[in-house]
Amino acid sequence: MTAFVRDQWYVAAYSGEVARDLLARTILGEPIVFYRTEDGASVVALADRCVHRRYPLSASSLENDTVVCGYHGFTYDPTGTCVRVPGQTRIPRTARVRSYPVVEQDSLVWVWIGDPDRADPTAIPRARHLDSPGWSTVRGMEPIDADYGLLVDNLLDLSHETYLHNGYIGTPEVAETPIATSVDDEAHIVRVSRRMDDAACPPFYARSTGIDGRITRRQDIEYFAPCLYLLHSRISPVGDPTRAYHTEITYAITPSAPGKVYDFWAVSRDFATDDVELDTFLHDFNRDVVIQDVDALNLLQRTLDSEPDGYQELSINIDAGALAARRVLAAMTAGAADGASASAAGSAPGSASASASPPSSSSASASASASVTG
């Protein structure tokens, strides 16, 4: 399993998901209940366990801005302080649940997992297109029963579009075209670019733009490890660079628990922004694509879970982006004070190492990873 990166912001929900119903999400193994205050102004995030007998507060109810435990009525204010207990007026001074720093930005609810003193809202990566004039966005969220590292692998290596998403967003050129990869180690950003000068236009773009011939297609990935992935997509008809369509595909990758991840996805466009039918098409079509990934990653995780200890991967040029992302994630966890996290930091999805070293012999080690520069 890929180690969790703590002391980080993660997307917990879309702003629109958090209202006056209690919303339960588990993030990096921490159960959290979310709700919006009556004035609508702020989102509250509390540990989802009553101090009394550990009953989940998410199975409770709101009374104004307080949460009333559904089992015995312990009542908490938005800071997590218990303000009422049954049968007595004195409140134990230790009756308090943890509250989490929350920031709403770009229509996303970000929560800080780690030491609250280190929570710096300015460190949250931006996705302004999700909530800006001149842009229209469709979105959804799918939980996946897979290590979040498998989702990172998936998104950083788009050659799979050709096979897993054939007939949707993939064409032969995606897998055929080499990539360029760069890493900003300090900012924890991995960039992967692929430029296809003359490619078939997949149905996703043909139907959304009306282009019926071949296209120039450019994919520019920015992965802000560990939490946010942006795919800047630009297409235009071959030979007509002025007729360009710009789409931003956003993924927020939020590890839920070991082997579980929330896959927040959004498709934003700067054209035909008032076209409601296009909204419906893009939502449904992209959701189909996401479900193809969900099914594949669920299958892959079940497969890896049933492998005997120490299986082997074989990496090639096309994996450069995903391997770079693994290295960045490993460095982020290695930097943590927690020794246990640090020791696990080097582990990529599965038990294979993520080094992009020259190909090792397959007999050398059952858990070796081979990489080929072909």
Q: Does 344 bind a second copy (CB under 8 A)?
A: no
Positions in 95-154 near a second copy (CB under 8 A):
95-96, 153
Binding of residue 162 to a second copy (CB under 8 A): yes
- Residue 210 or 310: the one with the smaller Cβ distance to a second copy is 310
Q: Which is nearer to a second copy, 142 or 270 (CB)?
A: 142
Cα maximum dimension of the chain: 78
Report the alpha-carbon distance of residue 53 to residue 38 in Å, rounded.
27
55 binds a second copy (CB under 8 A): yes
x-or-dash string of contact with a second copy, 10-49, rule CB under 8 A: -------------------x-x-----------------x
321 near a second copy (CB under 8 A): no
Q: How far is CA 223 from CA 11, 35, 97, 203, 336, in A?
A: 14, 29, 34, 26, 20
DSSP 192-205: EEEEEEEE---HHH
**Tokens 């509390």 sit at which residue?**
46
SS3 58: helix
Residue 69 as a binder of a second copy (CB under 8 A): the answer is yes
Number of residues binding to a second copy, judged by CB under 8 A:
64
Contact stretch for a second copy (CB under 8 A) within 66-74, 138-146, 261-269, 332-340:
66-74
Told to check if 93 binds a second copy by CB under 8 A, we report: yes
CA distances from 265 to 13, 87, 203, 343 (A): 11, 47, 19, 31
The long-range contacts involving 357-362, CB below 8 angstroms and separated by at least 24 positions, are 359/314, 362/312, 362/314
Torsion of the alpha carbons at 122, 127, 130 and 135, rounded to the nearest 10: 120
Contact residues: a second copy, CB under 8 A: 29, 31, 49, 51-56, 59, 68-73, 85-96, 153, 157, 159-160, 162-164, 175-179, 296, 299-300, 303-304, 306-308, 311-318, 350, 359-362, 370, 372, 374
